[in-house]
Amino acid sequence: MLNSSASLDQVFHALADPTRRAMVERLSGGPASVSELARPLDMSLAAVVQHLQVLEQSGIVRTRKVGRVRTCRIDPGALSAAERWIAERRALWERRLDRLGDFLAEQEPQDKERKRRS
């Protein structure tokens, strides 16, 4: 569990930065070279590489170097883990809200009865 939690922490850390989210969004459309990822960003190539390293460490992005070109692609497994974690939290809160709704629905007739007696 600790290892799973640590990797999930890395995924959320990687996605916390808007530049890295933009890179992930671009890579969602298909693989791209580092220079293609850097083109729309207002930063040095070295800064882009640093962001890519964070994405690689989290497991979100995989890179492959052929000659002088490093190509990046999304590894959906890391995003799936984050999606599962979020879905579990959502399900928990939906169950709690359903119980609250049931409780409030049970209280409504009792409140009407009290008001009528008053």
**What is the CATH classification number for the domain harbouring 16?**
1.10.10.10
Please report the pLDDT score of residue 86 as a whole number.
Answer: 92
Average pLDDT taken over every residue of the chain: 89
DSSP element (H, E) containing 69: strand 69-74
Prediction pTM value: 0.74
The residue range of the domain holding 23 is 2-78
Distance CA 52, CA 54 (A): 5
Decide if 19 contacts 41 (C-beta within 8 A). yes
Q: Does residue 89 sit within a domain?
A: no
- Reported as a pLDDT band with limits 50, 70 and 90, residue 20 is very high
Q: Which of 102, 82, 109 is nearest to 94 (CA)?
A: 102
- What is the per-residue pLDDT across 76-102, written as a single tens digit (0 to 9) for each? 888 888 899 999 999 999 999 989 988
Q: Does residue 59 sit within a domain?
A: yes
DSSP element (H, E) containing 110: helix 76-117
Q: Does residue 8 sit within a domain?
A: yes
Mean pLDDT, range 19-35, rounded to an integer: 96
Q: Does residue 61 sit within a domain?
A: yes
